[in-house]
Amino acid sequence: MPPLPISENKLEQFIDELSHLPSYSIGRTADNQLVISDSKISGHHARLIYCTPSNFILEDLQSKNGSYVNGLRVTRKVVGEQDLIRLAETEMTCQQLVALLPDKAARPLAKAQPQPVVAPEAPPSPAKSTVAVQPLDFTSSFAALKLVYEQYPRLRRDCRNREKMIRTGSVILSSVVGITAVLSTGGGALPFIQIMSGAGLSVLIPTLSSTLLSTDEKLEIIDREYRDVYRCPNPACRDPFGTRDWDLLAAQKTCRRCQAIWVS
């Protein structure tokens, strides 16, 4: 039996609900979601907006002793996991700060890392003392990057208009297998995000539809996520593809750096 059709309005409404990004207040007083016991930290010092599993917005709340990213004082800045954050005299990486946040189950789904498919090793040859190791096969992971390459310019263009971004999301997701079942059964955000995470950069659509981010911040997050994903899918290599056309990379067939197989 085919799945029941889901109206475009319902898809748009669901994306709109997801675009209300988690935001966490940080400070010395007990009414913050993250309390830091440091006398030099203001009562309400800063807030962290959770945009994607690896990108956040740090906003200083007019604190007395300031918020710093990699040694520079900021009022509001896009930060990544490895950025060094200092609130007054308390210093930690963004990743360490995120690990202290409450309501972990409510956060966006962590990005799935590409898993290598290893060809079976050749049996030992009695004539040789070494074993020939077959190259890694990343054909499936590489094929999925074509969608990332195609979506990138469209998301950059559409993120300037919130309503258009929501419509873009509904068009993309209405054709994704499984989305009807999630919505018709009242499924929550987690299965919805699981579906989006398998569709290139579609997982960014709720963030790009949010009213909490400026257009420049959205563009920076798109660029960061694109650079992080559009790379050689071999975790041991991760050579960035930059602006290289996916079709030209496919014609190359293998990674010249690690010899991973992209196209068989």
Task: Give DSSP secondary structure letters for 126-183.
Answer: TT-SS-PPPPEE-HHHHHHHHHHHHHHHHHHHHTT-HHHHHHHHHHHHHTSTTHHHHH
Question: Cα(230)–Cα(119) distance, rounded to whole angstroms?
Answer: 24
The answer on 52 and 146 residing in a single domain is no
Residue 117 lies in a domain: no
Q: Name residues whose C-beta falls within 8 Å of residue 189's C-beta, 6 or more positions apart in sequence.
A: 17, 18
| Mean pLDDT of the residues in the chain | 81
Residue 34 lies in a domain: yes
The answer on 141 and 83 residing in a single domain is no
Q: What is the pLDDT of residue 163?
A: 85
Q: What is the pLDDT of residue 180?
A: 52
Residue 228 lies in a domain: yes
Of 82, 100, 118, the one marking the end of a domain is: 100
Identify the CATH number of the domain in which residue 77 sits: 2.60.200.20
Residue 147 lies in a domain: yes
Q: What is the pLDDT of residue 166?
A: 83
CA neighbor of 152 nearest in space, from 250, 57, 49, 221: 221
Residue 146 lies in a domain: yes
Which range marks the domain in which residue 147 is found?
A: 135-180+213-263
The answer on 226 and 175 residing in a single domain is yes
The answer on 142 and 81 residing in a single domain is no
Residue 3 lies in a domain: no
The answer on 39 and 89 residing in a single domain is yes
Question: How many domains are there within the chain?
Answer: 2
Q: What is the pLDDT of residue 124?
A: 52
Residue count of the chain, please give it.
Answer: 264
The answer on 153 and 84 residing in a single domain is no
Q: What is the pLDDT of residue 53?
A: 87
Q: What is the pLDDT of residue 198?
A: 57
Collect the ranges in the chain with pLDDT lower than 50.
1-5, 105-122, 129, 131, 177, 190
CA neighbor of 44 nearest in space, from 59, 36, 56, 32: 32
